[in-house]
A and B are shown apart, each in its own frame.
Chain A
Amino acid sequence: MLKALDEERRPGRIRRIRRGATALGVAVAVGCGVVACESSLGEAAEGGMFRLGSDQPIDSLNPFVAVVSESFSVFQQIYPNLVQLGPGDRYVPEFATDWTTSRDGRTWTFHTHAGATWSDGRPLTAADAAWTLSTIKKFQDGPAASMASHVTGLVSATAPDARTVVLTYSRPVANVLTQVTSVPILPEHVWKKYAGGDGGALTTFTNSAPVVCGGPFTLVKYVPKQVALFRRNPEYYGTKPRIAGFGIQFFGTDDAMILALKSHQLDGVQNVPNTSVENLEAAGFEVVSSPGLSFDSLTVNANPKQRAAHRELADPRVREALDRAINRDEIVRTSLLGRGRPGSSIIPPGTAHWYDRTVTPTPYDPEAANRLLDQAGYRRGPGGVRIANGHPMRYPMILPDDTSSGYGLRSFQIVRSDFARIGVRLTPRLLDNAAANDALAADDSKEFTMSMWAWSGAASDPDDTLNYLTCRSWGTLNDTGYCGREWDRLYAEQGAAMDPAARRRIVDRMQRMAARQRILLVLDYADKIEAHSRSWTDLPLVGGESFSAESKIPLQSVRRAG
């Protein structure tokens, strides 16, 4: 009886549940639909909102504090720069309309746009550029240390009139244009009050939205770790962007970001994982691969004073054997899924025209590698592991987060298998980046044996990458255990070579030197992959990026298709 009554009432309950589910569904659908429409309202008539996704959040809106590249891409869009990088990796005018260099290469004169204004209506002049560079110079050992390399050799920055900036250097500096490309020109009337005393206030100013801007876009909204929104700046002195604005949303995982793109919650994504390329292409997205600006490398401790327990690693024959034992084609095929190329030089092919094509990848030749180790006297012992100086050739490989969280773990497995064929055994040592840094620098770089990490440089100039291996960078960027006078001398020479051909010869020589001495074993160059909806067009990439730290051009140019 009770059961029967219950059966009778059930349909009503089901209806209620259905009604509830329907209401919930409608609410959720309204939530999606309404907001999707809302996002395009208003902006559509003005060119639309270009929505980007990124896995790297902005760390700060203050150029004296920020360190991640995404932040400098933001500064590139909201602040003027004297020059910028154009398609073809050539420097083109930005706030400076033209520039000249003195015969001795020590004085650079830039002429700037007339009548420019900041977003608050105040005049934007050459004085702002001179003040910014002078302030960085003044505090380069303290609050402005993160931008110190942009004023290398600078003695003074002056503005003799509102349209002229004169930079005077203590010696000829070859990469002045690269340096000034990376310096956002700040509004002196906003920042000057923070530059008193020791300049400490420069780093505590949050520069929150609404930021006084002078670039093609103004920052209108910034929610840390979530989003930054930009609107076209009607006061911009240069070519006005075609879009009403753009936004960049930050994601915790690549999977969510790629799915957001596929479901058209985003219009474009930077740093597409190799594993998502086919998927996105099949879904009709435009996927653009560019030669990478970074290289993946295997560092074998080059410090001649390293611990006796692994001092054989500094032996050139051992380094050559390890190099020859690596199957780079397999790494490109399996780890990068074919989206990259085998590594050779420490200057990646994406760095403008600086890559030396005569430095070719070391051919995979395990027989030759075995012969080299035999000649060195390191015979195989129990389990096929070679014995060097009385100990088995077993080495821990430091794998920082950056490596182990991506395709790097696959590359490690290939290298481990390659090395096992020549009697060298590797064990992974997974560490987070901070701990890996400490492990590499421990005991003045005498402790570690090997590591795998990626290096990246600027799109236009090799200086950054060459600097990694200088003795001055020991303990900060240089985690190879290598320090050579010859390298440092050549580094200084290329930095002062004003003749591009002469500089090119020195840089090529350094690339060949790094390859010959096997300071780093360059494994591969992963392509830089971006994807965007075909609803957008005219999006040139500069340095493989649309949201670039060195150019305003891509986001000035992009527009809705059709």
Chain B
Amino acid sequence: MNNQEKEPLFSARNIKLLTAPLHKDNPITIQVLGICSALAITVKLKPALVMALSVTIVVAISNVVIAALRSYIPDRIRIIVQLVVIATLVIMVDQILKAYAFDVSKQLSVFVGLIITNCILMGRLEAFAMANRPWPSFLDGLGNGAGYGLILVIVAFFRELLGSGTIFGYPVMEKIGIYTTGYENNGMFILPPMALILVGLIIWAQRSKDRSLIEEKQS
């Protein structure tokens, strides 16, 4: 116990908690969690960014809370305790969004509420916060939120640029003057299947760049 107390706040191990989910342990492309929301709210960049922030905040704070409570939670009711913590935070995020960013909140519609069912949250609480101290859990939450957000923003960038011709609502394609050459926005990027294909392409690119991520063939 004493040994751990002396560990510096940003030791190599803790930094790794923060950076691993961005690439080698990404919640979407490696663990394949949270796909549902990645398809639903990535049509435009702004909602995607807000969603990424909301998830990051919720997963980081709930990780801290559960990590602090972990020795007092009876094993048999831990899921319900975790849900209570997540639900409280999600409702708070939802209310804040409604108060200060109503238009984005309307675009996100039920998907803010559905953060509760996002597998990444329960996954982190079960796999990490229940067995670690609050500070590493906080970093783990931030890292996973950021890893989720990173993919969301990449997908949303392409979907908004190619589907609507804008970036954060700014009409990039129109300013370039590409429409006069006969170019048209691709309607399929607005439909959810294209998000799935984009996530697949990201997984493809990631694995062909880092071959250690490819699973070995089961004989």
A binds B: no
- Which of B's residues lie within 8 Å of A, judged by CB? none
